[in-house]
Amino acid sequence: MTITINSLQPIISLVAGILILVWPKLLNYIIAGYLILAGILGLVGGANMAGMHM
């Protein structure tokens, strides 16, 4: 199984959801980290789709 940028976001979502259920006080940090990672993955994925290589 190959892990691509498109398959990372659901995995990150599942991990974040589990961590929020186990440690509710981590909610702010998990949301901030998720948003940062989703933004980075979106930028990198968008650049690769446009033919630009970073």
Q: Which pLDDT score is estimated for 17?
A: 82
Query: What is the pTM assigned to this prediction?
Result: 0.48
Residue 54: inside a domain, yes or no?
no
Residue 1: inside a domain, yes or no?
no
The number of distinct structural domains making up the chain is 1
Q: Is the pLDDT of residue 15 over 80?
A: yes
Q: Is the pLDDT of residue 44 over 60?
A: yes
Residue 38: inside a domain, yes or no?
yes
Among 5-9, 19-23, 27-31, which is the least confidently predicted range? Answer: 5-9
Report the alpha-carbon distance of residue 48 to residue 46 in Å, rounded.
5
Per the structure, the complete domain to which residue 37 belongs is given by 8-48
According to the 3-state scheme, what is the secondary structure of the chain?
CCCCHHHHHHHHHHHHHHHHHHCHHHHHHHHHHHHHHHHHHHHHHHHHHCCCCC
